[in-house]
Homo-oligomer: A and B are copies of this chain.
Amino acid sequence: MADNALDGLIDALRRLPGVGIKSAQRMAFHLLQHDREGARRLAGALTSAVQRMHACARCHTFTEAEVCATCLDPARDARLLCVVETPADQAALERSGSYRGLYFVLMGRLSPLDGVGPADIGADDLLARAADGRVEEVILATSFSAEGEVTAHALANALRARGLRVTRLARGVPAGSELEYVDLSTIAHAMGDRR
């Protein structure tokens, strides 16, 4: 039977998103039996990340510096500001190679039921950031879920009220997909936005 240090490890692993008791047990067992070096490395990485990563003063993404490398990159088009929910969404846009402007990372999305309001996604900082005199267009790239849409809608209203041009990523049929298998709401949007 498990003793205390093992139970403590399983409890700590269970706090990770998407990890239940079975996964936590499997992870703890794997680390102790087959990958103690991996366990030590993970402990070090956690400590290091918590100590060194904080929010970029300009775009709110995680960075070790005062301002992140993307915000400081002079090759970026400072007239474009793309608003995303998470650093992972930003990374996906970067991988697409379709965007060369700057970013603002909300680090979440509006979710009144979970108590996530405008202050939690840095809405005031976004409004100040977008009003730097160089930004000409704010592209809202929040997700196309209900909460992402609500977030985009609220931010668009506030940004437009300050005279900024606001756009939204196009909705449509994903590349490589057959119409037969695309959900009807997507087809309806693609039809409405046809060009």
Contacts and interface: CB of A to CB of B under 8 A. Distances in A.
A19 B23 CA distance: 10
Contact of A49 (B6, B45, B47): B6
A31 interface: yes
Given A1-B91, A49-B39, A91-B1, A17 B26 contact: yes
A161 to B, nearest CB: 28
A16 interface: yes
A6 B8 CA distance: 24
A118 to B, nearest CB: 16
A174 interface: no
A44 B42 CA distance: 10
A41 B46 CA distance: 9
Contact of A2 (B23, B35, B42, B62): B62
B47 A43 contact: yes
A149 to B, nearest CB: 21
A87 interface: yes
A86 B1 CA distance: 10
Interface string A17-42: 11100110111111111011011111
A68 interface: yes
A132 interface: no
A111 interface: no
A69 to B, nearest CB: 6
The 6 closest A-B pairs by CB, nearest first: A12-B45, A43-B46, A12-B42, A9-B49, A5-B52, A43-B43
Interface of A: 1-6, 8-9, 11-13, 15-19, 22-23, 25-33, 35-36, 38-53, 61-65, 68-70, 86-88, 90-91, 94, 107-108
